[in-house]
Amino acid sequence: MKIDAVKTVDEIKKKLHDSGDLKSRTVQFFGTQISLCYIAPITDNELLNNTLIYPLINFSSEIKGKDIVEVLNDRVLANQEVTIFYDLKSAVDKMLAGNTLILVDGADKILGCDLEKITVRAVAEPPTSVVIKGPREGFTESLKFNLALIRKRVKSDDFVVKMFELGKMTKTQIAVVYYDSIADKSVVNDVLKRLKSIKIDGVIDSHYLVSYLQRNKKSLFKQVGDTEKPDILVAKMLEGRVGIIVDGSPIVLTIPFILLEDLQNSDDYYSQPIRVTFVRALRLVGVILAVLLPGIYIALELYHYKILPTEFLITIMNSTQGIPFSPFIEILFVILLFEILYEANIRMPQYFGMAMSIVGALILGETAVNAGLVSPPAVMIVALSGITFYIIPGQASQFSILRLLGVIIGASLGIYGILLFCVFILSYLSNFDSYKSAYLAPTAPYIEEDQKDSYMRKTIDEMKKRPHAIASNESNKIRR
C-alpha cells in the first residue's frame, strides 16, 4: 500500500459514496502532504484541533532522515490512542467508529487516532428498577460510558472485558464482561462462540441478541436476564454470571438466567432480611394471583360454585344478573380491555398518559359496570391480577399470556384443568436449563446452600458462598 495524501482521500470518499459528513483537511509537514480524514458528527472537534492539527502545524524540531510516520507517532500526535493500519479497509472501518485517519504522502501505512465524540444522556435512575434505598445510577446508550460505570465499581485485575463487533451494516460494538476466576469457563466460551457466530445486518439493541443466546428459541419464557443498573450487573457477575453490553442499548444482558432472579430485587439487598423475606413471599403470592386468579374465578363460577361460601355466592349471583355475556366472555372482555389500556398507556405521551389512565380505569370500568356489560367482581378480579403482574415486572409479558391460557383452561376444565396446567408449567420449566443452570433452582433441584437467598434472605455475612444454582468456577465458591 502506497499512500497518496490526496488520491487516498478521494478513494475513501468514493468508498463512502461521497458521504456528506466525511471531512478532510490537508496540511504541509516539512514539505510532505498530510491529509486528515474523519467523520465530522462523531469526531470531537476540540480534540481534533488540540491533539492533531495544532501539534502538526506547530511542530518545529529537526526531522531530517527520519520516517515521518514514526515521527508523527512518537513526537507529534498528542493523542492517547494511535493505531497503525496496513490496509485501507480496516482504516476506513475504524474511521467510521470515530477514528481520524492521518494519511502521509508516500507512506505505506495509515495512522488512526481515536477522537470519538461520546454523546451520552445524563445518568438517571432506570424506570424499570427503581429503588428506595441503594444506588440510582443506570446504564446509558454508550458502551464506553457503561463500561466506565462498571469499572468504577470493579477494581480487580480479575475483571475481563472481551470486545468485538457485530452487524454487517452497523458494526455495533459488543462487550462481554465477567470475572475470570468466578465465571464458568465453558459458559463464557459458549456465550462468545454463539455471539461470534451471529450473522446479522445490524444490532440495534441488546434484545436483538436474545434469540441467538436462548436455548429454546420459541419458548414463552425468558431465558436471558437483563438489567439497567451497574450495581446489579456487578452483583450478578460476582455470582458467576456473564454480562453482554451492546453499544446503543442501556439494557445489559446476563447469562445464565434462573426464574428466581426476577423474584429478587436490588432493593432486597439494601433492606432488612426479615422484611425482604416477607416481601418475597408477597411476590410469590402475587405471581400466583397474577396468573391463576381469573382462571380460578371462572372455574369456580362455572363448575364449582357449590364450594363458595353462601354469602359470597349470593353477591356474585346478584352482580352477574343481567350480564349479557357468559362468565368466560365477560372475563375475556375485561382482560382484553385491560391489555388495550395498558398498551395505549405505555406508548402515549406522559402528560396524556395520566389522563388516559383515569379515563380507562375509572370512567370506562365504572361505565361498563353501570351499563351492565361486565360485573364488578370480574373487573375487580382482572384488575387485581393486572396489578400483581407488576410485582415482578420482568415477567409481566409472560404472565399475561399465561393468565389468558389459565382463563381458557379454567373455563373448559375447571379447577382440575388449572391444576394440570400448573403441573404442566412446572414440568415444562423443570427441563429448561440455561447454560448449566437449572431454571427452577434452587427449588428443583433443591439446593440447600442457596436457600439463604431464595424465597427468604439471610444477612449478607451469612451468605458465605456463591450460589450453587449458577454455573461458576467450583474452586471459587467461597466469597471470602
Partner 1 sequence: MKINYRQLSIITFMSFIALKFLALPSLLYLESKNMSMFVALALMIIDGLYVFVILDLMKKSGEKNIYEFMKSCLGKVISKIILILLILKYALVIGNISKGLEFFVVENLYSEYNWFVFVLPLMILIGFMIYKGIRNIARVSEMVCWAIVIGLIYIALKALSGIDVLSFLPFFLDGVQPLLNSAYRHISWFGSATFLFMLFGFVDFRSEKKLKMIKYIIFAILIVQLLYFVFYGLFEITSPTHNYCISDISQFSSTYSAIDELSWLVVSMWIVAQAVQLALYSYCLAQALKFLFDIKGNILPIIIVILYLLMWSFIGENTIRMERIFFSHFASIVTLLAQYILPIILEIVYAIKHRKGKNSSKKRVRDENKAKIRDKKEVKVNI
What is the CB-side half-sphere exposure of residue 98 using CA atoms within 13 A? 16
Segment near partner 1 (CB under 8 A); pick from 165-173, 203-211, 305-313, 399-407:
305-313
Which residue, 210 or 447, has its beta carbon nearer to partner 1?
A: 447
Q: Quick one: which of 413, 455, 463, 477 contacts partner 1 (CB under 8 A)?
A: 413
Which residue, 32 or 430, has its beta carbon nearer to partner 1?
A: 430
Distance CA 172, CA 141 (A): 12
Distance CA 427, CA 417 (A): 15
- What dihedral do alpha carbons 405, 408, 412, 414 form, nearest 10°? 70
Contact string (CB under 8 A) for partner 1, positions 337-366, x = contact: ------------------------------
Q: Does 218 interact with partner 1 (rule: CB under 8 A)?
A: no
Closest approach, Cβ 1 to partner 1, in A, equals 57
Closest approach, Cβ 297 to partner 1, in A, equals 14
Distance CA 179, CA 199 (A): 27
Using DSSP's 3-state secondary structure scheme, residue 363 falls into helix
Q: Does 305 interact with partner 1 (rule: CB under 8 A)?
A: no
Neighbours of 345 (CB within 10 A): 15
Q: Quick one: which of 27, 344, 405, 422 contacts partner 1 (CB under 8 A)?
A: 422
Size of the site for partner 1 (CB under 8 A): 27
Closest-CA residue to 212 (of 232, 227, 234, 190): 190
Work out the end-to-end distance of the chain between its first and last CA atoms, rounded to an integer number of angstroms.
55
Q: Does 430 interact with partner 1 (rule: CB under 8 A)?
A: yes
Q: Quick one: which of 14, 17, 193, 306 contacts partner 1 (CB under 8 A)?
A: 306
Contact string (CB under 8 A) for partner 1, positions 431-450, x = contact: x------x-x--xxxx----
Closest approach, Cβ 381 to partner 1, in A, equals 17
Which residue, 294 or 360, has its beta carbon nearer to partner 1?
A: 294
Residue type, 273: P
Closest approach, Cβ 420 to partner 1, in A, equals 5
Using DSSP's 3-state secondary structure scheme, residue 19 falls into coil
Q: What is the side-by-side strand order in the sheet with 110-114?
A: 22-29, 32-39, 99-104, 110-114, 82-85
Which residue, 223 or 227, has its beta carbon nearer to partner 1?
A: 223
Contact string (CB under 8 A) for partner 1, positions 264-303, x = contact: ---------------------------------------x
Which residues, other chains included, contact 351 with Cβ-Cβ below 8 Å and sequence gap of 6+?
none
Q: Quick one: which of 120, 314, 358, 420 contacts partner 1 (CB under 8 A)?
A: 420
DSSP 389-442: HTTSGGGHHHHHHHHHHHHHHHHHHHHHHHHHHHHHHHHHHHT--BTTB-TTTT
Pair 381, 297: CB distance under 8 Å: yes
Closest approach, Cβ 194 to partner 1, in A, equals 23
Which residue, 304 or 465, has its beta carbon nearer to partner 1?
A: 304
Closest approach, Cβ 233 to partner 1, in A, equals 29
Q: Does 419 interact with partner 1 (rule: CB under 8 A)?
A: yes
Q: Does 427 interact with partner 1 (rule: CB under 8 A)?
A: yes
Q: Does 423 interact with partner 1 (rule: CB under 8 A)?
A: yes
Q: Does 474 interact with partner 1 (rule: CB under 8 A)?
A: no
With left for phi above 0 and alpha for psi between -120 and 50, is residue 414 left, alpha or beta? left
Distance CA 170, CA 438 (A): 35
Pair 176, 161: CB distance under 8 Å: yes
> Could you list the residues that contact partner 1 (CB under 8 A)?
303-304, 306-309, 413-417, 419-420, 422-424, 426-428, 430-431, 438, 440, 443-446
